Amino acid sequence: MSFTYEYDRPAFTTDCVVFGLDQENLKVLLIQRDIEPYEGQWALPGGFIKVGESIDNCARRELEEETGLKNIFLEQLYSFGAPDRDPREHVITVAYYALVNLTEHAPIAATDARNAAWFSLHDLPSLAFDHDQILSKALERLKGKVRYQPIGFELLPKKFTLTQLQNLYEIILETKIDKRNFRKKIIKLDILIETDEFEQDVAHRAARLYQFDQKHYQKLVDQGINFEL
């Protein structure tokens, strides 16, 4: 082509909100910045895009560089571009969010992040830039999604008990759920595979383990089935 766009342009980054779940809490993965601005403060992992790199790739690359996390479920969340969101200059960021199972993923800090750690959503440090806003948006999306689709399975181990699953919904939606109703509904959705295995090393009676039936779920989605719980 005969010309390119020659006006000034904003800088462009990606940022990732990575949610993890332990027994009691929804957690988010943060990195501690070792460069200005906000040096020493906690922030979402992310960074500047390279020309010629797709947005998805940028998000995956920066996440891996800063935390060691890779090959995880990652979904685009929203773009943030308020002119004053970065003190340096106008920076537009596309935020992503991800769900991981905390027992299977342990992040390691690398390159331009000094430190990476999981923080409970109930005990967050002050965040750099507008990252508190981005985190709120991700949480809102997560809550909206679990109401309509069984999206939270990535937060659980591959095999889980119905109690663990109920616990996940209760933590994300921040509400108590009736056990009997929950079990009736979740079984009726027909997206769980009952395994022959049971919990190990528990004081109470060992509960049966289930797996998420991704294939059958996809079939039902294609049929327009409703997954509201």
Distance CA 126, CA 218 (A): 39
**Contact status: 12 vs its own copies (CB under 8 A):** yes
Please, which of residues 144-183 interact with its own copies by CB under 8 A?
Answer: 147-148
Burial of 25: CB neighbours in 10 Å, binned 0-12, 13-18, 19+: middle
Distance CA 227, CA 35 (A): 45
Distance CA 146, CA 207 (A): 24
Distance CA 78, CA 94 (A): 6
Look up residue 36 and give its DSSP letter.
S
Q: Site for its own copies (CB under 8 A): which residue of 24, 40, 70, 83?
A: 83
Q: Give the max Cα distance, the chain.
A: 73
Q: Site for its own copies (CB under 8 A): which residue of 4, 126, 200, 223?
A: 4
Binding residues for its own copies, total number by CB under 8 A: 40
Q: How far is the CB of 211 from its own copies (least distance, A)?
A: 26
Q: Are 108 and 70 in contact (CB under 8 A)?
A: no
Please, which of residues 92-121 interact with its own copies by CB under 8 A?
Answer: 92, 94
Q: How far is the CB of 35 from its own copies (least distance, A)?
A: 9
Residue closer to its own copies by CB (options 2, 200) is: 2
Q: Site for its own copies (CB under 8 A): which residue of 63, 81, 100, 105?
A: 81
* Residues at the interface with its own copies (CB under 8 A): 1-5, 7-12, 36-37, 48-55, 76, 78-83, 87-92, 94, 147-148, 224, 226, 228
